[in-house]
């Protein structure tokens, strides 16, 4: 494990401040490599991240340039944020059965409000499948307010799972 993250995880707990410092270090690493990452922002489920817009229009080999960026981005992620972000995401998962059931019902309500046909009694997997199916069944030209509403519902869904896949 990289030293930066080992120090943060020594006490086996991750505070928000420690988590944020790992994300800032990841972003700084990408920036120091010559890229221009966007500001850090919330990405749902108590997590933060950033995106980086690449302009490859004037690059001789866009595929290689994109692959190079991916390598830098992933190496910075591994060096500064992977272990800390995973521990943070796991700490945000709802484990109390009563709270988890209430959150599942709120997720179902959010999806219904977004126009997805689900019921309060549906389990988490069924709700997630319905949300993803609703999103995939629309073409890019048919992207709508409903897609945005479904994405808002999905943004916080990680709280129902053991590990976030976002970064």
Q: Are residues 117 and 140 in the same domain?
A: yes
83 and 17, same structural domain?
A: yes
Predicted local distance difference test score (pLDDT) of residue 147: 65
Three-class secondary structure of residue 117 per DSSP: coil
Among 72, 91, 93, which residue's Cα sits nearest to residue 28? 72
For residue 165, being part of any structural domain is answered with: no
167 located within any domain: no
How many CB atoms within 10 Å of residue 145?
9
Q: What is the pLDDT of residue 128?
A: 87
Listed residues 91, 111, 138: the one ending a domain:
91
Identify whether residues 59 and 122 lie together within a single domain: no
Crossing angle between the packed helical segments 82-91 and 16-32, to the nearest 10 degrees:
150
Same domain, 74 and 112: no
Q: Is residue 61 part of a domain?
A: yes
Q: Mark whether 20 and 68 lie in a shared domain.
A: yes
Q: Which tens digit of pLDDT belongs to each residue from 123-160?
A: 888 998 898 888 776 544 444 555 677 877 877 777 77
Closest CA relative to residue 13, chosen from 66, 67, 102, 92 = 92
B/e letters for 73-108, b = 16+ CB within 10 Å, e = fewer, are: beebbebbbbbbbbbbbeebbbeeeeeeeebbeebb
Q: Is residue 80, in this structure, part of any structural domain at all? A: yes
Closest CA to 89 of 43, 127, 128, 45: 45
Angle at CA of residue 102, ends 152 and 113, nearest 5°: 40
Is 57 a domain residue? yes
Range of the domain at 154: 97-160
The pTM of this model reads 0.69
Q: Is pLDDT at 167 greater than 70 in this prediction?
A: no
- Average model confidence (pLDDT) across the chain: 87
Which pLDDT does position 165 carry in this prediction? 39
Tokens of 98: 């009563």
Same-domain check for residues 112 and 86: no
**Last residue of one domain, picked from the residues 67, 91, 115:** 91
Domain total in the chain: 2
Considering the domain architecture, whether residues 71 and 11 belong to the same structural domain is answered as: yes
Q: Is residue 166 part of a domain?
A: no
Residue 56 included in any domain: yes
- Residue 160's CB is within 10 A of a number of other CB atoms, namely 17
What backbone phi and psi angles, to 5 degrees, belong to 97?
Answer: -55, -40
Of 74, 91, 108, which residue is a domain's last?
A: 91
Q: Give the pLDDT of residue 140.
A: 41
- Same domain, yes or no: 71 and 111: no
Q: Are 60 and 115 in contact (CB under 8 A)?
A: no
Q: Each residue of 82-134: pLDDT tens digit?
A: 999 989 988 888 888 998 899 899 999 999 998 899 998 998 889 988 988 88
């Amino acid at each position: 494990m990289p030293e930066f993250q080992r120090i943060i995880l020594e006490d086996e707990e991750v505070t928000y401040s420690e988590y944020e410092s790992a994300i800032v270090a990841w972003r700084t690493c990408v920036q120091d490599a010559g890229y221009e990452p966007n500001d850090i922002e919330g990405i749902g489920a108590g997590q933060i991240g950033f995106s980086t817009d690449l302009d490859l229009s004037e690059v001789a080999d866009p595929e290689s340039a994109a692959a190079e960026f991916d390598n830098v981005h992933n190496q910075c992620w591994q060096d500064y944020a992977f272990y800390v972000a995973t521990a943070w995401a796991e700490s945000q998962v709802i484990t109390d059965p009563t709270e988890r059931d209430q959150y599942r019902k709120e997720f179902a309500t959010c999806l219904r409000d977004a126009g997805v046909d689900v019921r309060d009694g549906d389990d988490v997997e069924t709700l997630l499948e319905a949300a993803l199916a609703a999103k995939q069944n629309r073409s890019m030209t048919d992207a709508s307010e409903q897609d945005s509403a479904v994405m808002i519902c999905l943004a916080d869904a990680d709280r129902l799972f053991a590990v976030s896949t976002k970064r």
